[in-house]
Each structure stands twice: as C-alpha cells, then as structure tokens.
Amino acid sequence: MPYLRPQGDGTLLLMLHIQPRSSANQIAGLHGDSLKVRLTSPPVDNKANKALIAYLAKLLHIPKSKIALKSGQQSRQKQILLHGCEESQVRLILEHGGAK
C-alpha cells in the first residue's frame, strides 16, 4: 500500500487524490501512488478539506482531532497525518471497508 506510510513517531501518512463534487463520499481505488477519494463537497472555502476529515474520521472510527492535513490545502493531492492509529487496522479498513 504505497499510499499509507508509517512515520516512526506513532503517526501514519496517508497520500490521497481528491475528486470533489462527486455523487457520494467514497474510496474510489488507486490514482498512481495515492488513494482516490470522492467527496460530494465543492473545493471552495475549505469545504472539501473539512468534508474529507469528517469522512475519514467516520470511516476509520477515530475522532477528527486525530486527523491533520499535512499538505495540499488547495490541491487535489493531499497528505494526511493520522495520529495514534493502528496501521494494520487502517490498512484493513481502507482495503476492505472503504467500498461504498
């Protein structure tokens, strides 16, 4: 899984490619070395970033406070830091539980 990288300090780096204005919030497979995520929110006024964090929190069953946008504030390519998450559990959810 090239899109999920342990950082050695208890955090995981998640590489994402975002497709805004989709019909549903969902994991949509791979886009190069990134995981493609479709979001219903438009990419204006930070709405897509907020929707992404809310979606990941719900999907991974973690508080939003454990998710931080490292880079890509105004880009489709984003790097997300997940704090205090079990790597194997995140991998399992993204591989199998991420489908609609």
How would you write the pLDDT of the chain (100 residues) with one tens digit per residue?
A: 799 999 989 899 999 999 999 999 999 999 999 999 999 999 999 999 999 999 999 999 999 999 999 999 999 999 999 999 999 999 999 987 555 4
Nearest to 71 by CA among 49, 93, 94: 49
Nearest to 18 by CA among 37, 4, 2: 37
Domain 4-97, CATH: 3.30.1200.10
How many helices (H) does the chain have, and how many strands (E)? Answer: 2, 6
The pLDDT of residue 100 is 44
The pLDDT of residue 96 is 79
- The per-residue b/e assignment along 17-29, b for 16 or more CB within 10 angstroms, e otherwise, is bbebeeeebbbbe
Report the predicted TM-score, pTM, of the whole model to 2 decimal places: 0.92
| Cα(39)–Cα(30) distance, integer angstroms | 15
| Cα(90)–Cα(69) distance, integer angstroms | 17
Asked if residue 81 lies in contact with residue 71, where contact means CB atoms within 8 angstroms, the answer is: no
Would you kindly state where each structural domain of the chain is located, as residue ranges? 4-97
